[in-house]
Structure 1
Amino acid sequence: MRLDLADLHLFLCIVDSGSITAGAARANLALASASERMRNMESVAGVALLERRSRGSVTTEAGEALAHHARLILRQQDILKGELQDFAVGARGTIHLYTNTAALTEFLPSRLAPWLADRPRLRIELKERTSADIVRAIASGLAEAGIVSDAISAEGLQLHPVAKDHLVLIVPQKHPLAHRNKIQLAEVLDQPFVGLSQGSALQDHIDDQARVAGSLLDYRIRMRAYEGVCEMVTHGIGIGILPQNIARRYKRRYAYRTLLLTDDWARRQLCLCFKNWKELSAPMQSLLIHLGADTGTF
């Protein structure tokens, strides 16, 4: 089967946009040209890749398989381009590092700064995702590496702990639970909550655990930043869940009580996550070693 890189790029544009028309525009092709290319691809493949509908197109099972491999091939092409560019300009382009919320806000900033300072032409693109999403992306070959919680199953991948990331419940000082030191999420499912904005990887993780426990959390308000959550809880608006280090930091400024969450999913460590060390690009290996990867174990 002969499909060139332009064909694969067009196919992914169509898949991601949901229609041949939008995909053609995204790929900077005329609709007629894009349609002809799709017919040729399906002819070469010998099977339908798209199911045409009145409101767009969706992939068939064969199309899903092609999309998966197309992403792998194009990602490898990007890695190749980056490494060749390194020889030309003395840089490695852009590293894409997937990270959960806690690592993004608490662990990475102080550690990335000196490493990047020594590499002035290098760029890092941080992609905030839930740990589950990061593990899926790495397992499927769509991401090189990431930072996740060890509370997630990562079968077939390597996890290297680099920091503790336990979650705690914070409550107003006069809250009926303020005398407690420990608690489980199931005990507070009926309480009003202060949460992080929708789209926060940490908040998505907490919501998933609430659903597993059989409930949806009742949010009185959602805040963009951890400090906003702390201020709202201090004023009695509701209770909240934060990483322990962050709760400890803001407690110097705000008056609330901290209760350790004893659920297994809340007793977390931050871990570097990747599939095969030898398949990582050189700059990614350098970054992970700087962040604490134990090279003696692989």
Structure 2
Amino acid sequence: MRFDLTDLRLFLHIAESGSITAGAELAHLALASASARIRGMEDMLGVPLLRRGRRGVETTDAGRTLLHHARVITQQMEKMRADLGDHASGLKGHIRVLCNTSALAEFLPDALAGFMAAHPQVNIDLEERLSYDIVQAMRDGLADIGVIADSVDSGGLELYPFRDDRLVLAMAPGHPLAARLKRKRSCAFADALGHDFIGLAGDSALQKYISGQAARLGERLTYRVRLRSLDAVCRMAASGAGLAVLPESAVLRSRDVMRIRHVQLTDAWAVRKLLICVRRYADLPGYARELVDTLQPSN
């Protein structure tokens, strides 16, 4: 049985994208060449690695076994490349980071800027997901580093502190809820559920998290508009169009340029600690270990 690194990386890309075409593009191979390599791997093993369907491909049991080993091998290659960096100056590193909305919008850009300036040969692939999806992806070896809220079960992963993240309810000073609250500085999420909301567009992890909290109360949020950024949500909430649940840091930053009121939510889920998670720190490439160290608040 002989697979080369190109075969393994190709199979990783196909399995993770669910498409031979997309996997071939990610591996910088022609579709015909990629298909031939996959068929050659299956012929060599004597078992199918992929199930082909109208909507793409998925791994068989044998394919999932190969996928596990392919991830281990490619991760070890990345670690070797990093550790030999002083002796092979042309090599580049790649770190895949998964994070929730608050980490992506509020904390990681500044934290990553200095690291990337100091490591020009390291590329970072940053993707937003829900915390529980990040945990599963980390366990499956789909990323090097995750940033999650402490509200999810992260058993089996190594954890390091990142930032505190409080979610608050933001509104215009003239909003009916603001008038009802008067001088109160906090309220329960349930008290806001009869009003229209402003939210984030697309597959925002934060929006899914907030909608999930409403669902636990037997309610469904009504959105007047969904926007692409936290700053835009702040502006729309300040205009009186609706309420918004946002990271407190985003609202505090917005107060310098707009009139917006916020109150703290008394619900336990609104006070979160963000944590860095990895499968095993010692197994990361050297540059990825440096990033974990850089992201911690003591650094």
TM range (shorter): 0.7 to 0.9
1:139 and 1:115 mapped to 2: Cα distance? 25
Identify the range of structure 1 (107-116 vs 269-278) with the bigger mean alpha-carbon deviation: 107-116
More displaced stretch, 188-197 vs 164-173 = 188-197
Q: Does 2:248 match 1:263?
A: no
Deviates more, 1:236-245 or 1:271-280: 271-280
The answer to whether the aligner puts 1:225 opposite 2:229 as a matched pair is yes
Q: 1:17–1:117: structure 2 CA closer, same or farther, 3 Å change rule? A: closer
- State how 1:1-298 maps to structure 2 within 5 Å: 1-16=1-16, 18=18, 28-29=29-30, 31=32, 37-53=37-53, 56-89=56-89, 93-178=93-178, 179=181, 180-292=184-296
Mapped partners of 2:265, 2:14: distance in 1: 45
Cα 1:50–1:117 shift into 2, 3 Å: closer
Task: Note closer, same or farther for the CA distance 1:122–1:197 as it changes in structure 2 (3 Å cut).
Answer: same
Which is further off, 129-138 or 166-175? Answer: 129-138
Q: Structure 2: how far apart are the matches of 1:70 and 1:15?
A: 11
- The CA distance in 1 between the partners of 2:202 and 2:13, in whole Å, is 27
Q: Confirm or deny: 8 A CA contact 2:198 2:242 kept in the other structure.
A: yes
Deviates more, 1:45-54 or 1:245-254: 45-54
Q: Aligned with 1:66: secondary structure?
A: helix
Superimposed CA distance per residue, residues 89-147 of structure 1 (whole angstroms, 9 cap, x where no aligned partner): 17753333333222223223333344444445444443333322322222222222222
Asked if the contact 1:192–1:239 (Cα under 8 Å) also holds between the matched residues in 2, the reply is yes
Query: Deviation of residue 161 (structure 1)?
Result: 2.3
Distance 1:184 1:70, change over 3 A: farther
In 1, Cα distance between equivalents of 2:125 and 2:40 = 36
Please report how far the alpha carbon of residue 152 of structure 1 lies from its aligned counterpart in structure 2 after TM superposition: 1.9
Answer whether contact 2:79 2:286 (CA < 8 A) is retained: no
Going from structure 1 to structure 2, the CA distance change for 1:114 and 1:3 (only over 3 Å counts) comes to: closer
Q: 1:54/1:249 Cα in 2 relative to 1: closer, same or farther (>3 Å)?
A: closer
Instruction: Decide whether the 8 Å contact of 2:105 with 2:230 is kept in 1.
Output: no
Give 1:168's aligned amino acid: V
Q: Secondary structure at the match of 2:174?
A: coil
C-alpha distance 190-22 of structure 1, shift in aligned 2 (>3 A): same
1:183 to 1:125, Cα distance in 2 relative to 1, 3 A? same
Q: How high is the TM-score relative to the length of structure 2?
A: 0.82
Structure 2, unpaired ranges of 5+: none
Query: Mean alpha-carbon deviation: is it higher for 132-141 or for 68-77?
Result: 68-77
> Percent same amino acid among aligned pairs?
43
> For the residues of structure 2 that align with 1:124 and 1:147, how far apart are their CA atoms?
14
Letter in 2 for 1:147: V
- What secondary structure is seen at the aligned counterpart in 2 of 1:103? helix
Q: Please list every run of 5 or more consecutive structure 1 residues that lacks an aligned counterpart in the other structure.
A: none
Once residues 108 and 19 of structure 1 are traced to their aligned partners in structure 2, the CA distance between those partners, rounded to angstroms, is 30
C-alpha separation between the residues in 1 aligned to 2:21 and 2:101?
Answer: 36
CA RMSD of aligned residues (A): 3.1
TM-score, with structure 1 as normaliser: 0.82
Q: Check whether the contact 1:86–1:92 (CA below 8 A) recurs between aligned residues.
A: no
1:273 partner SS: strand
CA–CA separation in structure 1 for the residues paired with 2:144 and 2:137: 8
Relative to 1, partners in 2 of residues 1:227 and 1:61: Cα closer, same or farther, differing over 3 Å? Answer: same
